Amino acid sequence: MENSSNNAKQTINFIAFLRGPAALLVVWDHLIANWADKNGVTWKPVTLARTYITRPLAIIQDFGFFGVVLFFLISGFIISYVIQRENRLQFFVKRLFRIFPPFIMSIVCIVLFYGVYGHITPVPTFMSERSAGDIFLSMTLLNYFFIPQNPINGVAWTLIIEIIFYALSLILLPLLQRRPKIAIAAGLGFCSLILYACRSFGDNFFLFASTVAYLPFLIMGQIIYFSWAKKISLTETALFSIATYFVLVKGLLTIHTGFYSPENSYGVSFIYAYLTFLLFMVLEKYVRTDNIFGFFSNVSYSLYLYHGDIGFLLLTILYPLTGFTFAITITTALIMGMSYLSFRLIEKPSQNYARKLLNSVSAG
């Protein structure tokens, strides 16, 4: 790669700039719009956003899936970048310590918060139906391969998609480093084969296939990276992008049929996210992350983990006492604080430990 140090710096800024807004879009969907709908609350900012943005532009889930696709594109891009300088052990250990320590701690916090809430109110919650086995299995993400799935952290469905993409990248690592065109084709072939056989091996395999159906979103980010790094031509970029789009649509037609039609389309949100991603990549030299965007980039993963179940609970407790505007303000501040603490006390130390572990293995 030419000027790798400069490009790496630019790419970090570009990715950092988008991580924060992607997380905030999901927070807006789950913690604000979705909570308000479920509790019969009308809030003017939600009404205005729906009236002038999401409904006329056919953006579903109050920006939620738009934010999720941005995360997928970012992940596909950055994983394809970092894997160029890592071996299989390094890639495995770094991803393991990147994903699981903050995720496991989020589940511990959810169990504790809902446990305390269960002692002060007779109102049952989703945790009332979860066993110790459910809690342990959810910490491994393996619950997403079984019926019922019984998740603890509601946003974890995207993490299992990431894990499968990491596993595929780990298998294809030599090709991703030296034969990216073959690697992309192999990834698309894997997705196509799983989608073709999705109903052939029972319900558990169908669950696996329903997760694989999301991989084209990450593969599209991968394609953008290899084009950006000049490892594939523009013609090859276009051909691979078209092929990925067809696999993506096949997944909608075969499995996620409720998100195919225009009134509830994954495709529309994907196009907006894809164009946004490309726009900021082109404008990366104007992007600054030494400001609030840097903060939100740092805490984006923890914010994603904590805003849902814990945010819902805090908002449920505060709303009757303060009304929605004050409740959402206080809840958001508390979730931001928890996310920052998670970043400083869990994310950074676990990533530092992964590096030390790899250094010790290398030295030995």
CA distances from 227 to 23, 75, 76, 93, 200 (A): 26, 15, 13, 27, 36
In this prediction, residues 92-113 reach a mean pLDDT of 97
Q: Among 9-18, 25-34, 186-195, where is mean pLDDT lowest?
A: 9-18
Question: Is the link from the previous residue into 148 a cis peptide, with omega within 30 of 0?
Answer: yes
Domain count, the chain: 1
Euclidean distance between CA atoms 252 and 257, whole angstroms: 5
Cβ contact 310:152 at 8 Å: no
Q: What is the pLDDT of residues 32-58, one digit of tens each?
A: 999 999 999 999 999 999 999 999 999
In this prediction, residues 297-307 reach a mean pLDDT of 95
Euclidean distance between CA atoms 265 and 45, whole angstroms: 23
Q: What is the pLDDT of residues 194-244, one digit of tens each?
A: 999 999 999 999 999 999 999 999 999 999 999 999 999 999 999 999 999
Task: Give the domain extent around 237.
Answer: 4-363
Cβ contact 174:88 at 8 Å: no
Euclidean distance between CA atoms 364 and 362, whole angstroms: 5
Asked if pLDDT for residue 334 goes beyond 90, the answer is yes
**Token representation of residue 158:** 């995207």
Q: What per-residue confidence (pLDDT) applies to 12?
A: 62
Find the Cα–Cα–Cα–Cα dihedral 283, 289, 295, 298, rounded to 10°.
Answer: 70
pTM over 0.75: yes
- Cβ neighbours, 10 Å, residue 285: 8
Extract the runs of DSSP E, i.e. beta strands, from 19-142.
none
